[in-house]
Amino acid sequence: MALLSPLDLVALSLFIGAWICYHVALEWTRHHKPGLNSRMDGYRDIWMMRMLERDVRIVDTQIMASLQNGTAFFASTSLIAVGGSLTLLRSPDDLLALAASLPLGVEMPRALWELKATGLAVIFVYAFFKFSWSYRLFNYVAILIGAMPHARDRKKSSAKASAMRAARLCTVAGRHFNHGQRAFFFALGYLGWFISPWLFMAATAAVVIVMWRRQFASDSLDAVARTE
């Protein structure tokens, strides 16, 4: 007998397809430009250009420390989540009985439970790699800030090139951080699969809708885009 039922395959395909389509629409198409992430990329450019006007750049180093600390927190949380996911592989019989007793729960073979737990761990491992790489890139941005030309040279083309170089690297670091957070959000949808494929599909759709609204129809976007 096949490990995954047709409904499981449909739910898993919807999950993977939704993740890929959201990623492509947000980063590879023209539709991402009015979004919150894209607008914040523009403010990174402004930040680095403003930094050229300051000889004392304490505020810039404080901002970098804040970005690094937040990224380090999520990287550590990812490792804890990986451990929690692998814990689901222990005492699976008791966990299977608990899942089946829930209102929407369905009985499943032990091998399927282990497959689902492994998939959840893979998602958090992916998030860890994204957060840890983002943390390292923010370290590189801090080095570029330290190597920034003096304020008296801000009008030189080389100074502007240095500022934009730091802005681009900061944008890349932020993009990897966003990928890690996106994995966390989709992991919440993935948890529905432990109850039933129907809940898995519903949770995946809910996660995509929430993330899309935050990017394109949120009060945060309105605050950033407001010109007055």
221 found inside a domain? no
Whether residue 94 is predicted with pLDDT greater than 70 in this model: the reply is no
Is 225 part of any domain? Answer: no
pLDDT tens digit sequence for 47-75: 999 998 888 888 989 999 999 999 999 99
User: Is 105's pLDDT higher than 70?
Assistant: no
Q: Which of 83-92, 113-122, 179-188 has the highest mean pLDDT?
A: 179-188
pLDDT at site 1: 44
pLDDT over 70 at 146, yes or no: yes
> 104 pLDDT exceeds 50?
yes
Q: What is the pLDDT of residue 101?
A: 67
Q: Is residue 224 part of a domain?
A: no
| 100 has pLDDT over 70 | no
For residue 106, the model assigns a pLDDT of: 65
pLDDT tens track for 122-137: 999 999 999 999 999 9
Is 43 inside a domain boundary? yes
pTM of structure: 0.89
Please compute the mean of the pLDDT values over residues 75-92 and round it to a whole number. Answer: 86
Residue type (1 letter), 32: H
In a domain, 174, yes or no: yes
Q: Is 143 among the domain residues? A: yes
Segment 33-58 mean pLDDT? 88
Task: Identify whether 111 is part of a domain.
Answer: yes
Q: How many domains in the chain?
A: 1
Enclosing domain of residue 135 = 6-26+35-214
- Per-residue pLDDT, averaged over 93-116, amounts to 71
Position 44 in a domain: yes
User: Between 3 and 42, whose confidence is greater?
Assistant: 42
Asked if residue 98 has pLDDT above 70, the reply is: no
